[in-house]
Amino acid sequence: MPELPEVEVTRQSFAQRIRGARVTGVRLGKPLRWPLGCEAQHIVGQPVGEVVRRGKYLWVALGNGGLLMHLGMSGSLAFSETPPPPGAHDHFDLVTTLGTLRLTDPRRFGAVVWSEALDRPPAATLLAALGLEPFDERFDGAWLHRQLRGRRVSIKQALLSGRIVVGAGNIYACEALFEAGIHPARAAGRISLPRCVRLADAVRGTLARALQLGGSTLRDFRDAHGMEGRFQQHAQVYGREGQPCLRCGAAVRRSVQGQRATYYCAHCQT
């Protein structure tokens, strides 16, 4: 699933290229997770403004509202001046005077939804439960410690929920917890303030590195230029079951939490 780094890398790869264009057409393929919410003709003729990200959503501002996009489990966006004919998995085209923004999504869990504004339904409803952005200045150890207080769920599940901080998807949660020396199964409410400080720093640092490396490509992620991510090549624990820990040499372990694979070092993470 594309996580925050992959979505942000995608945004950066086309945001400036499409800004200032005018929509000349909209093509809808097979239905996605939610309906568009307006007639396609309502979008035609609108100028394209800024493209911003909130969590794993992208907002493409238009003259009379905007499109909230989500890549789902397997989606990707490509922007091209001369795109090829749409294939079986190409389910949305935003055709503009500067090129075509195309959503490809084999599993069709992605979405493109029209909204009058980010703070109006349906966009506001979809974004309401999201936690802080990891690079928000308010996200620090003290804030994290307050949010975790009393929570019995494991710390990894708390991170994955996205209700405290967005962007710490499965790969990045595993890596941040290793960096902070915290066992992924430890109860979230039992993590001390000093350890929360380390964890907040680790979350930010892990996601910053992922952005620098273009995100992670485990199966089919590409940015709007068609480029793969490289973070997975630098993972310290993720995908390394049975291999020696890069810190202590003990074997990296794998478990399953909430139907997601978890990788950790039982010696380094307590």
Active site members: 2-3, 56, 260
Match 């199964």 to its residue by tokens.
185
CA dist., res. 101 & res. 252, Å (int):
41
CB within 8 Å of 185: residues ≥ 6 apart? 154, 155, 156, 255, 257, 262
CA dist., res. 270 & res. 258, Å (int):
20
Q: Residue 98, Cβ neighbours under 10 Å: how many?
A: 17
> What is the DSSP pairing of strand 48-54 with strand 65-70?
unpaired
Nearest to 266 by CA among 187, 249, 69, 64: 249
CA dist., res. 58 & res. 71, Å (int):
9
CA dist., res. 55 & res. 42, Å (int):
27
Nearest to 86 by CA among 152, 78, 229, 203: 78
Match 């910053």 to its residue by tokens.
208
